[in-house]
Amino acid sequence: MKRRSAITLVALAAAFYSAAPLDAQVGKAVTIVDANMATDKELAALPGLTPALVKSIMERRPFPSITELDALLGGLLGRPQITDLYGRLFVHLNLNTATREQILLIPNAGARMVREFLEYRPYKALAQFHREIGKYVDEKELARLEQYVFVPIELNTASDADILSIPGLGARMLREFKEYRPYKEIAQFRREMGKYVSKEEVARLERYVVIN
């Protein structure tokens, strides 16, 4: 009897931890690199990116969204080339604010997947996206789609793992993010982070955060 009870407890614990929210609010890279963080060498290795185009991307960063990168590329590459490139390079989409047009820039997303992305808004955590979209696609496709998206972290409650999922954010900025808690408004975040990084970098970081 005791042995059976112990087995039941182990099973319940396993179920609990498997259902617990996944750490990290930014999808893990599988095939793409972040257009705002890729090095010039990484960019130069991508299809269709000439030295001149690599230079343009580097000079115009950070891109506020994929729309701005798409506008730059659209004047220089054909749509099939751009779609191919987006299998390797992208600017993460905010799951709660991305437009239909932006979601459709994900290669092979299609109208049905756009509908599913939008249906489950607002997303509270990336684990919610994982669970809901996982109803429609297999694990490989889910991982591919997930790498394109993020759910903003809550500045006052986010775990270290959530904060560190922001591309390019290391231990130093993790410390600064947490030092000024509790944040009362986003202007406070801009002001405090502006002590350590440029206003352009503050704007990039701000895409990934929210104060509830």
Domain boundaries, the chain: 33-150, 153-210
Residue type, 181: R
pLDDT band of residue 5 (cuts 50, 70, 90) is very low
Mean pLDDT in residue range 132-136: 97
Which structure tokens are listed for 168? Answer: 């390019």
Strand, coil or helix: 91: coil
Bridge partners (DSSP) of residue 153 are 209
Distance between CA atoms of residues 110 and 116, nearest Å: 10
pLDDT of 101: 98
Question: Quick check: 182 and 156 in contact, CB under 8 A?
Answer: yes
pLDDT of 171: 96
Mean pLDDT in residue range 134-141: 97
The answer to whether the predicted template modeling score (pTM) of the entire model surpasses 0.75 is yes
Mean pLDDT in residue range 80-86: 97
Q: Report the percentage of the chain scoring pLDDT > 70.
A: 89
Average per-residue pLDDT in the chain? 90
pLDDT of 48: 93
pLDDT exceeds cutoff 60 at 7? no
Which of 99, 193, 189, 91 has its CA nearest to residue 148? Answer: 91
* pLDDT tens profile 159-198: 999 999 999 999 999 999 999 999 999 999 999 999 999 9
pLDDT band of residue 16 (cuts 50, 70, 90) is very low
* pLDDT tens profile 32-45: 999 999 999 999 99
* pLDDT tens profile 49-73: 999 999 999 999 999 999 999 999 9
Distance between CA atoms of residues 29 and 164, nearest Å: 14
Which of 73, 91, 74 has its CA nearest to residue 32? Answer: 91
DSSP state at residue 59: H
pLDDT band of residue 131 (cuts 50, 70, 90) is very high
Query: Which residues are within 8 A (CB) of 5 and not within 5 positions of it... i.e. 6 or more apart?
Result: none
Which structure tokens are listed for 30? Answer: 């599988």
Q: Is the dihedral of CA 65, 27, 87, 53 positive or negative?
A: positive
R_g over Cα of the chain: 19
Strand, coil or helix: 136: coil
How far is the CA of 108 from the CAs of 83, 86, 118, 158, in angstroms? 9, 10, 16, 32
Distance between CA atoms of residues 32 and 12, nearest Å: 37
pLDDT of 23: 56
pLDDT exceeds cutoff 80 at 10? no
Torsion of CA 97, 103, 106, 110, to 10 degrees: 150
pLDDT of 84: 97
Residue type, 71: A
Question: Quick check: 202 and 190 in contact, CB under 8 A?
Answer: yes
